[in-house]
Structure 1
Amino acid sequence: MPLWLQGALEFIQCAFFSAVLVVVPLIAVWFADGFAERSLDSVFRMCGQVWLLIHGVPLELNLVAPGSPAVVTGAMTLIPLGLTLIPFFLAWRSGRRIARASYADQLWQGIVGALGAYLLVGLITGFAVATEEVGVNLGAAALIPLIPAGLGVITGARREAGSWGRLIGVDFAEWIATTSQHSRWAGSYVWSVIRAGVLGYVMAFGLAAVGLTVSLAIHWLEISNIYQQLQPGPIGGAVLTIAQLGVLPNLALWSLAWISGGGITLGVGSTLGPLETAVGPLPAVPVLGALPAGDLGPSWVYLLVPVLAGILAGWWFLREGENHFEDWLSIRLKVRWASLALSTVLLGLFIGAVAGLLSTLGSWLASGSLGIGRLTELGPNLWTTALMLTGEVGLGVVIGYLVAPFLERDPVLED
């Protein structure tokens, strides 16, 4: 079949399977009388609204306040990133299938067909599920789902192609060979700095996720008590657990903001961090029982976790052997310690800045609003977290880069 048609059919399957994973648990709750006040039609509309939400589409709420004729308006923008991974990986699988069926110079046809089909699915869904209580912007419903789906299909196609060069039909090695030696050295240095910054951020995120897991294990009794107080029943409890699993990546990013010292916002006027804590009333969500409370010991200890990630990034950069900026400085500054000190401090600043920029993206994705009440501000304190991570990872890079030769037993250093 034509490549554009194959791409369209692949993404229609993606939309169908991701929708099934939303519809089945919510319909099960309806059959268990969990939505006794709703008709089956309204539950299907709610399923479509949830499908749009996991793709990042904001929902416009217009709800009547209990015991009052006033209408409360707001936008629900908190994206459950764990559930967003479902359409992403379905699109990733489709991208690999499209790449197998096409040559590199034809791949765009399948991708355009796939994204065009997904745009129509989002547009139709946004039109079909809008109600008086929940409104949907049709432009957002059509375009925003293309972001996770597009990233999935492109990375999947790249995985199958084996390189970005094959994916877009450009031989990067041949192009780099035409540049000057100084340009190649500068490019190698910048590329190594970017990869070290990504490594530092990913390591900090991984350590924060481990800390979140430990906190969940320690506070398991409090979480169980909240489950018992809610009494959701077997099906309701299963759906509640799925929803909480869907926001686990958000909580891991919140944990990263917490250990960095940037802190997180849990509603208007509430801030939680190792250096400052001022939290108001919170909803009865079991996973929130794992929030750190009480005496946590010396607060500054938690700030060392991103520094450790920076140390690993600095060590990796030394092993990469692409510090051409230090080579350039050593030629112009005859004093060895001066060139080493200046290049290492700037290296920490550059790699820390990359980690800080990635932090702004992660914090932004993990933030949002539930649209009503105090919970219109949820998530990491974006700029504070970015600045703290920049400094902490940068400090770790300096330490790691200077200590790494001793760990590597550099023969030049020993001589």
Structure 2
Amino acid sequence: MRSLVTAVIAAIEAVAVALAGLAVVAVPAVLVWVITFGLAAEPASVAADVAGVWLLAHFVPLQFSVSAEAALSLGLTPEALSFSLSLAPLGITLISVLLALRAGWRFAGRGGVGAMGVLGGIVGFGAVSLGAAVVAAPLLEWTAMQAAFSAAAVYGGASAVAFLVRAGRDGHPWWEAAVRRILRGLEYLGVRSGAALPHRAADMIRLAAAALALVFGIAAVGFAIAVATGYADVTALTQGLQLDPIGSLTLFLAQLALVPLAIVWSLAWMSGTGFEIGAGSSVTPFETLLGPLPALPMLGVLPEGWGERGAFAPGLLVVAALALGILFARRPGMRRASWPAAVAISLLAAALTGLAVAGISALSRGSMGPDRLASNGPDAWLTGGFIALEVGGGLLIGTIAGRFDVAKIRAALPSAVPSAVPGSGVLHRRHETADTASVHEDDVDFDSAVDEALDIAADRDETDAFATDVSEAATLMPNDQETAAYATEELALTDSGFEPSQAATTETAGSADRAAEALTDELTDEATLVEAYAWDAETPAAEESEDHPKPGRRAGWRWPSRGH
């Protein structure tokens, strides 16, 4: 019961979507019929035209016949003509596609019963399409059932894609079961690492979708720039048609419906393959060859050929794909993947992007007039192939650059290599010092320089020791009263017949000898340091401090205490 209710709701929604698309075509057509023609045309003819244009947007070709008088008035040979119109206004197509994507995504949130929503939508949209095909029967090349099937396929295909994408993202039970069966089949075939296949496939689809959006975004920007630069030509062509306000509004809406078509053609132009407007013509970045064109103001934005500079257009796509590859390669999932897996994801995503572009290019190709105007648009497979190569090259280079770990490579290099690289901080300064020493080695007598350095160090140490002793003596020196008392006591001891003990004299002499030895050691340490800095300018400071520790407090002459 729940599935049936879902299907009915989806069918009603699809009918509303189809009627909305018909209304977009009918409103300007009725305005022209009422205001411009004063209701002169037959209502059935107006309804057939509205239904025919809507079906044309869903890739149903129309058939037109032109009398000899009408052909002469259009500047053609005065003979009856019959031609097919199959160039779809993709702006109207997008209305049905976007609303179908929304419906399929929403029905997928209901789980497995949402599949009935997709089927119900196809039925509802097909019913409206069948009615429109019956009304537009005089203009159709196909039968009514074929036209209804084509329109229903557009809506149903978009809805099914959205449903499958969300089912895979949310992990529907039937989806998980299908994935397990595929993995068991791969395991039976002996394929290793099959468990990671779903995650790798998801990464590939995300990267392909991002690349597809990127290239079409660049094409849209390129078309906007072309409109801005060719606005004067577009205005001149519009004024040459001498339309009334309603006619100008209708022309504007018609060209607005052709904007997505122009963006697809712009992508073909930027890929380097270009497109054609009439048999034998060519519009590429390198050259532009055109014949007689329809009086459509939008065609005034066609650019001139750039010659050799035309390589900038496909090069821009490569650079954009390279940037996308770098960003995608730095994602945690891609960094954990192995190198073969990362490269395979990039190449498969580029191939999928090329297939999508080829399919969209095929839908943007068609006829819009008799004779040479029967062939218009890009070559689908050629455009898709070039896009796959350009995007694939950029993604591959970007993936390699994004996974390139400079820290690991630097750690793997020998420790001597960074010191030889200029601009490496302290190591660079030591390298420069070594170079300077090697340059002036022939002009310096190192023996005399070392002797002079030792003499200067010895003199400086003696001066510092004397200054330190004087400072400490001044600090430890008692006041005048203590000195006088000490002198009086010593004089009294002498008068009483007492002399300083032999032990005290010996201890004082020993203290003096130890002080002299400490001073000699300090001078030796200083001389060793000077010699080390003179002969080995590249020895790190940490090693110098370990080999030659800084001496402690200097042991010089001290003022004798009262105990002595």
Q: Do they fold alike, i.e. is TM over 0.5? A: yes
Provide the residue aligned with 1:246 in structure 2: 257
Structure 1, 203-212 or 183-192: larger mean CA deviation? 183-192
Provide the residue aligned with 2:531 in structure 1: none
> 2:286 matched to 1:275?
yes
- Of 49, 66, 82, the match for 2:91: 82
Distance apart, 1:140 and its partner CA? 2.2
Provide the residue aligned with 2:330 in structure 1: 319
Bigger Rg, which one: 2
Asked if structure 2 preserves the Cα contact closer than 8 Å seen for 1:54 and 1:84, the reply is yes
Q: Deviations 1:214-249 (Å, cap 9, x if unpaired)?
A: 111111111111111112222211121111111111
Q: Deviations 1:250-280 (Å, cap 9, x if unpaired)?
A: 1111111111111101111111101232111
Secondary structure of the structure 2 residue equivalent to 1:275: coil
> 2:7 matched to 1:8?
no
Provide the residue aligned with 2:146 in structure 1: 140
Identity of aligned residues (%): 30
Provide the residue aligned with 1:379 in structure 2: 377
> 2:229 matched to 1:218?
yes
Provide the residue aligned with 1:338 in structure 2: none
* 1:163-182 superposed matches below 5 A: 163=169, 165-166=171-172, 169-171=174-176, 175=180, 182=193
Q: Deviations 1:152-211 (Å, cap 9, x if unpaired)?
A: 434565788794644x74336983997667112345444434432332232122111111
Q: Distance in 2 between matches of 1:414 and 1:82?
A: 54
Provide the residue aligned with 1:104 in structure 2: 111
Provide the residue aligned with 2:209 in structure 1: 198
Q: Distance in 1 between matches of 2:40 and 2:79?
A: 21
Asked if structure 1 preserves the Cα contact closer than 8 Å seen for 2:119 and 2:156, the reply is no
Asked if structure 2 preserves the Cα contact closer than 8 Å seen for 1:61 and 1:135, the reply is no
Q: Distance in 1 between matches of 2:397 and 2:89?
A: 36
Secondary structure of the structure 2 residue equivalent to 1:298: helix
Secondary structure of the structure 1 residue equivalent to 2:393: helix
Secondary structure of the structure 2 residue equivalent to 1:74: strand
Distance apart, 1:111 and its partner CA? 3.0
Q: 1:202 to 1:276 in 2, by over 3 A?
A: same
Structure 1, 371-380 or 152-161: larger mean CA deviation? 152-161
Q: Distance in 2 between matches of 1:224 and 1:231?
A: 11
Structure 1, 320-329 or 370-379: larger mean CA deviation? 320-329
Structure 1, 173-182 or 358-367: larger mean CA deviation? 173-182
Q: 1:162 to 1:349 in 2, by over 3 A?
A: closer
Provide the residue aligned with 2:125 in structure 1: 118
Q: Deviations 1:324-344 (Å, cap 9, x if unpaired)?
A: 885569xxxxxxxxxxxxx85
Provide the residue aligned with 1:59 in structure 2: 62
Q: Deviations 1:292-312 (Å, cap 9, x if unpaired)?
A: 026577111112121023203
Scaled by the length of structure 1, the TM-score of the pair is: 0.83
Structure 1, 223-232 or 185-194: larger mean CA deviation? 185-194
* 1:278-297 superposed matches below 5 A: 278-293=289-304
Gaps of 5+ in 1: 330-342
Q: Distance in 2 between matches of 1:384 and 1:155?
A: 25
**Letter aligned with residue 52 of structure 1:** L
Matched positions, count? 395
Distance apart, 1:39 and its partner CA? 2.2
Distance apart, 1:27 and its partner CA? 0.6
Provide the residue aligned with 1:130 in structure 2: 137
* 1:361-380 superposed matches below 5 A: 361-380=359-378
Provide the residue aligned with 2:218 in structure 1: 207
Q: Deviations 1:314-361 (Å, cap 9, x if unpaired)?
A: 2144124447885569xxxxxxxxxxxxx85x6664443222222211
Q: Distance in 2 between matches of 1:99 and 1:349?
A: 30
Q: 1:2 to 1:299 in 2, by over 3 A?
A: closer
**Letter aligned with residue 124 of structure 1:** G
Q: Distance in 1 between matches of 2:209 and 2:8?
A: 37
Q: 1:297 to 1:223 in 2, by over 3 A?
A: farther
Q: Distance in 2 between matches of 1:374 and 1:239?
A: 26
* 1:353-364 superposed matches below 5 A: 353-364=351-362
| Higher RCO structure, 1 or 2 (CA under 8 Å, sep 6+) | 1
Q: Deviations 1:11-63 (Å, cap 9, x if unpaired)?
A: 22222222111111111011122587632321111001111111221223343
Q: Distance in 2 between matches of 1:213 and 1:269?
A: 27
How well do the aligned residues superpose, as a CA RMSD in angstroms?
A: 3.2
- Of 21, 33, 43, the match for 1:30: 33
Structure 1, 307-316 or 268-277: larger mean CA deviation? 307-316
Q: 1:212 to 1:328 in 2, by over 3 A?
A: closer
Secondary structure of the structure 2 residue equivalent to 1:170: helix
- Of 43, 48, 71, the match for 1:45: 48
Secondary structure of the structure 2 residue equivalent to 1:145: helix
Q: Deviations 1:123-156 (Å, cap 9, x if unpaired)?
A: 222122222x554422321101112311343456
Provide the residue aligned with 2:393 in structure 1: 395
Q: Distance in 2 between matches of 1:120 and 1:161?
A: 27
Distance apart, 1:73 and its partner CA? 3.1
Scaled by the length of structure 2, the TM-score of the pair is: 0.63
